[in-house]
Amino acid sequence: MRLFLALILALAALPAQAGWRDEVLYFVMLDRFASGDPANDRDVDRANPLAFQGGDLAGLTAQLPEIAGLGATAIWITPLALQIDHPIDAEGRAFYPHHGYWAEDFTRIDPRFGSEAQLKTLVDQAHALGLKVVLDVVYNHVGYGAGWTRNRPEWLRQGDQCGTDDVTRCLSGLPDIRTELPAVREALFDAQLGLAERTGLDGFRLDTVKHVSHDFWAEHAARVRARLGPDFLLLGEVWDADKYLARPYLDSGEMDALFDFGFRDHTLKFLTGVENATRYGRYLNKRHALKRGFLAPFLSNHDMPMMLAMLRGDTDRLLLGMTLLFTVEGMPVIPYGEAVGRRGGPWPDNRGVMPWGARAIQPGAGLARDRALRRQVQALIALRRALPELRGPQLEVLAARGGLLIYRRGPDLLVVLNRGPESQPVALTEGRWEVLWSSGGAPGDPVSAAILRRTP
């Protein structure tokens, strides 16, 4: 335990690693995180999970130490563009654009989230804590009934103009932006890249990537490199992406990274017993065979039930998933609240508010936090940041039988997981080994994980 605390304290003061693949990305759905300015609480109804809950840029800025203290090195926040000013009906409930994906105007920040000046303050204070800031950007669609539907109808596909292929379909009936038009591209690039230039953003998370053409993304990447520099992150969302679906976007340089949906899918199957250790081990050995770019593994996101809900609240098994997340190659992504036991079931529960326990932070004041789980995740992140082997490409599965999985990370580190339910003997040869981190109990105990290092 003293080793855990020493690592955490030492790493809290370090700047983020230079390479994006070495970062730890913390996802924040802004409206669900923390309120810092009650004056902007328009359309807030905390009895309606589909309404605004009051989280904003000021609240996130005030709670940056929560994220830096966990050990994350970068933040991804949901879109900030001015949203449509009306709800839609969702099974008899008013569904407001609290998520940020139904834009009215890409050139303005929604006052319910804050202002451009507050975004600049957030970025500056995040940088002071060694945190990079990634903004979610939407190029595929505008919100229902947005101004463009009347003022710029030629820029959109609507109604019977919607196609059936990935690029021309209108997702969920949303007006589809004709990104093939040069005037449309100029307007979008000026809005999004201009905001990044003025505020000092470090990257974009790019929404619905497969629903926009490759030639758009190629031009977008070229514009980004010219205006924002070579280190500005382009992180794409291609649903169900794995190394195969990622290659066209990464090899071409259109994206620097894609979210690793394959990792989430295989890990869920392993943790629930659908996939045995032998099959999961074969997957791990080959998951990251890429020529360029990298995959960003995750356990949960805001478009699916959270992992803890899928595991029926089993935090011991969740820690096995966290061990895998922080000991494989690529930038791990952890959503708000997952490290303190937020259990979000199917939509809209998966987009619940951040639990703050006894702290008087709205909208999640009073909601229970699992502090023991947070300490374990904190220690895992500290080890990942301290040990390059846990971030590197060398992974070799040494044993895989039933629920037992052992893999080597570099020459002197082992990761041992037992999904259970029975103890598994773990025979270690070639020297002496010390336990750097354990989820509880000895390596090989039922539902346990450990990271071991060979000692001289």
The DSSP line for 18-37 is SSGGG--EEEE-GGGT--S-
Distance from C-alpha of 347 to C-alpha of 350, rounded to nearest angstrom: 5
Residue 46 lies in a domain: yes
CATH of the domain at 442: 2.60.40.1180
Q: How many domains does the chain have?
A: 2
Residue 246 lies in a domain: yes
Q: Is residue 340 located within the same domain as residue 440?
A: no
363: preceding bond cis by omega (within 30 degrees): yes
Distance from C-alpha of 423 to C-alpha of 426, rounded to nearest angstrom: 9
The pLDDT, as a whole number, for residue 243 is 94
Q: Is residue 287 located within the same domain as residue 422?
A: no
Residue 379 lies in a domain: yes
CATH of the domain at 323: 3.20.20.80
For residue 93, the SS3 value is strand
**302: closest CA among 77, 112, 44, 126?**
77
- Of 378, 393, 408, the position where a domain reaches its end is 393
Residue 257 lies in a domain: yes
Distance from C-alpha of 57 to C-alpha of 77, rounded to nearest angstrom: 10
**What are 152's two structure tokens?**
């710029």
Q: Give the strand pairing for 333-335 and 25-28.
A: parallel
CA atoms within 13 A on the CB side of 330: 29
- Of 352, 377, 393, the position where a domain reaches its end is 393
Q: Is residue 350 located within the same domain as residue 205?
A: yes
Q: Is residue 254 located within the same domain as residue 290?
A: yes
Residue 333 lies in a domain: yes
**Rounded alpha-carbon distances, angstroms, from residue 175 to 84, 135, 149, 412:** 13, 22, 7, 54
Q: Is residue 384 located within the same domain as residue 398?
A: no
Q: Categorise residue 419: left if φ over 0, alpha if ψ from -120 to 50, beta otherwise.
A: alpha
Distance from C-alpha of 103 to C-alpha of 236, rounded to nearest angstrom: 19
Residue 329 lies in a domain: yes
Residue 377 lies in a domain: yes
State the 10-residue block means of pLDDT for the chain, 456 residues long.
Answer: 43 48 97 97 96 98 98 98 97 96 98 98 98 98 97 97 97 98 98 98 98 98 98 97 96 98 98 96 93 96 97 96 98 98 94 97 98 98 97 94 93 94 81 92 89 92
Question: Where in the sequence is the domain holding 407, given as residue range(s)?
Answer: 394-456
Provide CB contacts within 8 A for 202, sequence distance 6+: 74, 123, 132, 133, 134, 231, 232, 233
Q: Is residue 446 located within the same domain as residue 375?
A: no
Residue 147 lies in a domain: no
- Of 362, 393, 424, the position where a domain reaches its end is 393
Q: Is residue 383 located within the same domain as residue 404?
A: no
Q: Is residue 213 located within the same domain as residue 327?
A: yes
The pLDDT, as a whole number, for residue 10 is 43
Q: Is residue 240 located within the same domain as residue 388?
A: yes
Let me know: does 269 contact 395? Beta carbons within 8 Å: no
Let me know: does 335 contact 306? Beta carbons within 8 Å: yes
**206: closest CA among 103, 302, 137, 260?**
137
